[in-house]
């Protein structure tokens, strides 16, 4: 489309389109805009006063900041002379002036569309000069339900009338949202931001009083896709070669050989070394081409400058090179990173990384660590961070997770995270997907993959840097309000994925999803809270509320029945329910309560909590009575998903803590927040699985 603009100050790759051209696009899309003319192209005397004068041209982005807008104009010529002088004081020369009729009064609403890493997103909220200060907008990924978007910001009840105001025509305002989306889609890959602030909304309709559009100076160039990734070569390689092991000093390559040997590799494992016949008992050959039959998977751990030529030398004799080495784009060496990517394309070898640690896939004897579990499961994780990938393997298996794979993707210059998620979603062995992301490169591909998984395979995403971005979004309120957290919230609503920012929560969510993904209970928010200590139950209730769970009070008849059984003397039985549980409690302390409660009111989820320190501070049996109490929970109430919080677990001796966690027959957590987040994740997946929304 032949629309152009003026370079954004400080960023010539982005163009600000003159407002008259933006208003024309909006008008064609059915969005009401004030009648107006461009001076020199039309006669302002045809407009009804009072009038609005606006300047447009190079450097004029936020008009009110530089005096480029004036309301209530009676003498257009005089106003133009005065405005020209004001702009000159800012070092600006206008390219032209737009004269418009004053838009009818109404509630000031901000409506915008923004290109996010996950594609187009629409925003709506309170507008005017306080838009960023109030920070009250809703964001939804396109395609978006405009009516739902307008119900999603905190102040949306203002649309229905307040303090004598008449209600806003919601369908007309929703049509404005749809019109902006249509303009954005019409502009294609060059579209970046479109904002109307304010849209003046009233009972008779809505009008876009102001409009700002930013486009890319050039459309992105199409990229030729690489050859398909051989996922079997990554997860189930028939042969592995390690480049970077030393004959005379310890290195990552030597540790990798040790880990592979400990994981059962006796044949098909090779070291690549120019002179050695073997390294640490592993046969060595000079190049990958000398490996009999070639290598499915090559681990590259040599200095960064050598990596491109090493990869290029694998042409025709290797499928995948996993480049462990750092020193590329993450350190500013973008040219070296581009050289490595080019070498991958020329050689036909798919490159994972660089700057990542390896792959753990127990069914295929893939590992990058010693002393890891050989037990395989269905949890598949892709991590940008190698260090966190190692934590996920060790800490996750320690709490009972069984993985199909943990793949560290690093800088992902060739094999991308979106590609890995797509391929893992195709694997019958994948039952849960986990992601760790520090950025959102190739976000649209990730979003497409997550949409395909919605309601079929549960997803948890651990996202680093959930903060207001704003570094590139300098041209509009829309951009600065669309921080990473808000965008990820929209991804969660759109796909049903659970987004967290803490590793313990991430592992807990994965464990809960893996345990209960096929559970028949639905996604209703009702949650039963049971445990010892009134204050602790209050904290548990607060955690449930923060996670969107409903601690619904029990019915009066059930409360009366529980009081008749001896519960509730000075304590609550309404939900949360307080019970006496500790080293002196009977083994059936949980079952005696839960049997009548869940028979009368079958909650989909129950959050139980115990005080671990009581078993050590008031008893002599250590963890034994606690494990007895937890043991009674196994499989007794198949209609209810159970979780237990082990408060003050750190009081237990270090060698008993993990044993208590893993011995629990139901998912166990250290904090109420982690447990509530995991429960909410399963409910979210159940709603998507059963055809409902992800909220």
**Cα-to-chain-centroid distance, residue 374:** 30
Task: Match 């190079």 to its residue by tokens.
Answer: 58
Distance CA 344, CA 226 (A): 9
Q: Would you state the pLDDT for residue 618?
A: 87
Q: Is the pLDDT of residue 478 over 70?
A: no
Tokens representing 395 are: 């800490």
Predicted local distance difference test score (pLDDT) of residue 661: 85
* Domain 35-102 belongs in CATH node 3.30.1490.20: yes
* 460 HSE (CA, 13 A, CB side): 30
Q: What is the tens place of the pLDDT at every residue in 163-182?
A: 778 899 999 999 999 999 99
Confidence of residue 1 (pLDDT cuts 50, 70, 90): low
Average pLDDT over residues 472-496: 67
pLDDT (0 to 100) of residue 223: 82
Show Cβ contacts of residue 419 under 8 Å, excluding neighbours closer than 6 positions.
Answer: 229, 445
Q: Which residue has the tokens 């030393």?
A: 246
Q: Is 248 exposed, middle or buried (0-12, 13-18, 19+ CB in 10 A)?
A: exposed
Asked whether the predicted pLDDT for residue 276 surpasses 90, the reply is yes
Count CA within 13 A, CB hemisphere, residue 550: 10
Which comes out higher in pLDDT, residue 692 or 574?
574
Please report the pLDDT score of residue 484 as a whole number: 72
Count of H-run helices and E-run strands, the chain: 23, 30
The model's confidence at residue 695, banded by pLDDT at 50, 70 and 90, is low
Residue 625 makes CB contacts below 8 A (sequence gap 6+) with 583, 585, 587, 615, 619
- CA-closest candidate to residue 536, choices 612, 426, 619, 628: 612
Give the residue-averaged pLDDT of 676-688. 97
Peptide bond into 576 cis (omega under 30): yes
pLDDT above 50 for 475: no
**Which superfamily does 356-464+501-518 belong to?**
Succinyl-CoA synthetase domains (3.40.50.261)
- Beta-carbon contacts of residue 353 (< 8 Å; ≥ 6 apart): 322, 323, 324, 325, 408, 409, 410, 411, 412, 413
**Helix (H) or strand (E) run with residue 36 in it:** strand 36-38
Specify whether the CB–CB gap between 345 and 226 falls below 8 A: yes
Q: CA-to-CA distance for 395 and 378, rounded, in angstroms? A: 16
> Which is it for strands 11-17 and 212-216: parallel, antiparallel or unpaired?
antiparallel
Domain spanning 228-355: CATH 3.30.420.40: no
Looking only at the bridges linking them, the beta strands covering 282-285 and 269-272 are: parallel
Instruction: Record the tokens describing residue 687, joined without a space.
Output: 């709603």
The mean per-residue pLDDT over the stretch 248-276 comes to 94
Query: What's the confidence (pLDDT) of residue 479?
Result: 44
pLDDT at residue 162 is higher than 90: no
Q: How many CB atoms lie within 10 A of CB 270?
A: 25
pLDDT over threshold 50, residue 241: yes
Residues 6+ apart with CB under 8 A from 635: 665
Q: What's the pLDDT score for residue 224?
A: 85
Structure-token pair, residue 200: 């003046």
Whether pLDDT at 232 is above 90: yes
At 632, is the secondary structure helix, strand, or coil? coil
pLDDT of residue 499: 95
Cα torsion through 236, 241, 244, 248, rounded to 10: 120
Asked if pLDDT for residue 372 goes beyond 90, the answer is yes
* pLDDT value, residue 134: 66
Structure tokens at 432: 């849960």
Query: What mean pLDDT do residues 96-123 have?
Result: 94
29-63: per-residue pLDDT in tens? 999 999 999 999 999 999 998 899 999 999 999 89
Report how far residue 146's alpha carbon sits from residue 544's, in angstroms, rounded to the nearest whole number: 30
- Distance, in Å, from the CA atom of 242 to the CA atom of 271, rounded to the nearest integer, reads 5
Beta bridge partners of 382: 407, 435
Residues sharing a CB contact under 8 Å with residue 28, sequence separation 6 or more, in sequence order = none
Q: Could you tell me the pLDDT band of residue 472, with boundaries at 50, 70 and 90?
A: very low
Alpha carbon 80 to chain centroid, angstroms: 48
Q: Do domains 228-355 and 521-689 have the same CATH topology?
A: yes
Residue 141 near residue 490, CB atoms below 8 Å: yes
Cα 262–Cα 268–Cα 271 angle in degrees, nearest 5? 75
∠ at Cα 250 (245, 255), nearest 5°? 65
| Residue 238 tokens, joined | 């028939």
What 3-state DSSP class applies to 505? helix
HSE toward the beta carbon, residue 399, CA cutoff 13 A = 24
Mean pLDDT lowest for which of 387-401, 527-541, 594-608, 648-662? 648-662
Q: Which helix (H) or strand (E) holds 173?
A: helix 170-187
> Mean of the pLDDT values across residues 513-524?
96
SS3 assignment, position 498: strand
* CATH tag for 16-32+106-219 (out of 3.30.470.20, 3.40.50.880, 3.60.110.10, 3.20.20.80): 3.30.470.20
Strand 318-323 to 295-300 pairing: parallel
573 versus 480: the higher-pLDDT residue is 573
The CA angle 85-91-92, to the nearest 5 degrees, is 70
Nearest partner of 605 among 663, 562, 547, 565, judged by Cα: 547
Q: What is the pLDDT of residues 323-347, one digit of tens each?
A: 999 999 888 889 999 999 999 999 9
**Sign of the alpha-carbon dihedral angle for 367, 431, 491, 231:** positive
pLDDT tens track for 627-658 = 999 999 988 999 999 999 999 999 999 888 88
For range 669-685, the mean pLDDT: 97
Any idea where the domains of the chain sit in the sequence?
A: 16-32+106-219, 35-102, 228-355, 356-464+501-518, 521-689
Structure-block tokens of residue 646: 């082990």
Least confident of 199-203, 247-251, 420-424: 247-251
- Residue 645 β-bridge partners: 609, 669
- How confident is the model over 266-273, as a mean pLDDT? 96
| pLDDT class of 114 with cuts at 50, 70, 90 | very high
Least confident among 349-353, 479-483, 593-597: 479-483
Quote helix, strand, coil % in the chain, to nearest 5. Answer: 35, 25, 40
For residue 206, give the nearest of 25, 20, 48, 33 by alpha carbon. Answer: 33
Print the SS3 string covering 547-604: CCCECCCCCHHHHHHHHHCCCCCCCCCCCCEECCCCCCCCCCHHHHHHHHHHHHCCCC
Q: DSSP for 425-446?
A: HH-TT--EEEEEESS-TTHHHH
Whether the Cβ atoms of residue 146 and residue 177 lie closer than 8 Å to each other: yes
* Mean residue pLDDT across the chain: 92
Strands (E), 457-536: 459-463, 498-500, 527-531
**Nearest to 458, CA basis, from 374, 381, 571:** 381
Higher pLDDT: 253 or 467? It is 253
pLDDT band at 623 (very low <50, low <70, confident <90, very high): confident
Sign of CA dihedral 276, 280, 281, 287: negative
As a whole-number percent, the residues of the chain with pLDDT over 90 amount to: 79
Cβ atoms within 10 A of the Cβ of 618, count? 11
What's the CATH code, domain 521-689?
Answer: 3.40.50.261
Q: 221 falls in which pLDDT band (50, 70, 90)?
A: confident
More confident residue, 328 or 662: 328
φ, ψ for residue 577 (rounded to 5)?
-110, 130
Phi–psi pair at 328, nearest 5 degrees: -115, -130
* pLDDT classification of 466: cutoffs 50, 70, 90: low
User: What tokens were used for 30?
Assistant: 């059915």
Q: How far is CA 108 from CA 24, 146, 154, 404, 691, in A?
A: 21, 17, 15, 52, 36
In 3D space, the residue among 108, 150, 98 whose CA is nearest the CA of residue 128 turns out to be: 108
pTM above 0.95?
no
Residues 6+ apart with CB under 8 A from 329: 337, 355, 411, 413
Is residue 208 scored above 70 in pLDDT?
Answer: yes
């Amino acid at each position: 489309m032949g629309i152009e603009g003026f370079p954004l100050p400080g960023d010539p790759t982005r163009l600000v389109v003159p407002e008259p051209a933006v208003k024309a696009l909006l008008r064609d899309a059915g969005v009401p805009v004030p009648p107006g003319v461009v001076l020199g192209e039309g006669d302002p005397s045809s407009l009804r006063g009072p009038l609005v004068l606006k300047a447009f041209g190079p450097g004029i982005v936020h008009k009110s900041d530089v005096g480029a807008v004036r309301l209530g104009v009676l003498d257009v010529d005089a106003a133009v002379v005065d405005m020209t002088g004001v702009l000159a004081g800012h070092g600006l020369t206008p390219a032209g002036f737009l004269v418009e009729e004053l838009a009818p009064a109404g509630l000031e609403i901000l409506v915008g569309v923004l290109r996010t890493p996950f594609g187009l997103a629409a925003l709506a909220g309170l507008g005017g000069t306080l838009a960023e200060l109030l920070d009250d907008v809703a964001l939804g990924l396109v395609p978006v339900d405009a009516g739902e978007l307008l119900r999603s910001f905190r102040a949306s009840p203002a649309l229905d009338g307040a303090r004598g105001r008449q209600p806003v025509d919601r369908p007309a305002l929703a049509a404005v949202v749809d019109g902006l989306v249509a303009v954005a889609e019409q502009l294609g890959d060059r579209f970046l931001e479109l904002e109307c602030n304010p849209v003046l909304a009233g009972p008779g309709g809505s009008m876009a009083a102001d409009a700002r559009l930013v486009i890319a100076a050039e459309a992105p160039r199409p990229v030729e896709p690489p050859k398909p990734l051989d996922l079997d070569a990554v997860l189930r390689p028939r042969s592995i070669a390690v480049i970077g092991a030393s004959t005379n000093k310890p290195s990552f390559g030597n540790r990798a050989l040790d880990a592979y040997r400990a994981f059962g590799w006796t044949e098909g494992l090779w070291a690549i070394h120019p002179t050695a016949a073997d390294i640490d008992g592993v046969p060595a050959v000079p190049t990958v081409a000398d490996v009999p039959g070639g290598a499915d998977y090559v681990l590259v751990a040599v200095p960064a400058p050598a990596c491109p030529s090493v990869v290029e030398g694998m042409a025709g004799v290797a499928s995948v090179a996993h480049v462990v080495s750092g020193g590329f784009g993450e350190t500013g060496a973008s040219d070296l990173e581009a050289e490595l990517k080019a070498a991958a394309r020329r050689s036909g070898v798919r490159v994972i990384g660089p700057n990542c640690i390896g792959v753990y896939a127990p069914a295929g004897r893939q590992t990058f660590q010693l002393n890891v579990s050989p037990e395989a499961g269905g949890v598949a994780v892709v991590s940008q961070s190698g260090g966190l990938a190692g934590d996920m393997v060790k800490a996750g298996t320690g709490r009972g997770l069984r993985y199909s794979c943990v793949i560290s993707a690093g800088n992902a210059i060739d094999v991308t995270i979106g590609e890995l998620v797509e391929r893992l979603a195709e694997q019958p062995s994948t039952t849960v997907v986990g992601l760790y992301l520090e950025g959102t490169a190739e976000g649209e591909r990730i979003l497409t993959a997550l949409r395909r998984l919605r309601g079929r395979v549960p997803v948890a995403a651990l996202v680093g840097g959930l903060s207001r971005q704003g570094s590139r979004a300098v041209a509009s309120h829309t951009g600065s309000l669309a921080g990473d957290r808000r965008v990820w919230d929209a991804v969660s609503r759109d796909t049903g994925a659970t987004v967290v920012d803490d590793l313990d929560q991430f592992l807990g969510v994965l464990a809960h999803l893996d345990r209960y993904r096929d559970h028949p209970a639905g996604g209703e928010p009702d949650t039963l809270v049971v445990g010892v200590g009134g204050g602790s139950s209050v904290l548990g209730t607060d955690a449930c509320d923060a996670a969107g769970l409903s601690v619904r009070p029990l019915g009066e008849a059930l409360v009366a029945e529980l009081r008749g059984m001896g519960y509730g003397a000075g304590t609550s039985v309404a939900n949360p329910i307080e019970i006496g549980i500790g080293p002196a409690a009977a083994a059936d302390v949980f079952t005696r309560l839960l049997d009548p409660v869940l028979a009368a009111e079958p909650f989909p989820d129950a959050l139980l909590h115990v005080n671990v320190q009581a078993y050590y501070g008031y008893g002599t049996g250590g963890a034994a009575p606690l494990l007895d109490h937890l043991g009674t929970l196994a499989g007794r109430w198949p209609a209810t998903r159970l979780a237990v919080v082990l408060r003050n677990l750190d009081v237990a001796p270090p060698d008993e803590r993990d044993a208590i966690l893993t011995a629990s027959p139901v998912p166990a957590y250290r904090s109420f927040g982690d447990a509530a987040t995991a429960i909410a994740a399963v409910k979210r997946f159940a709603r998507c699985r059963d055809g409902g929304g992800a909220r």
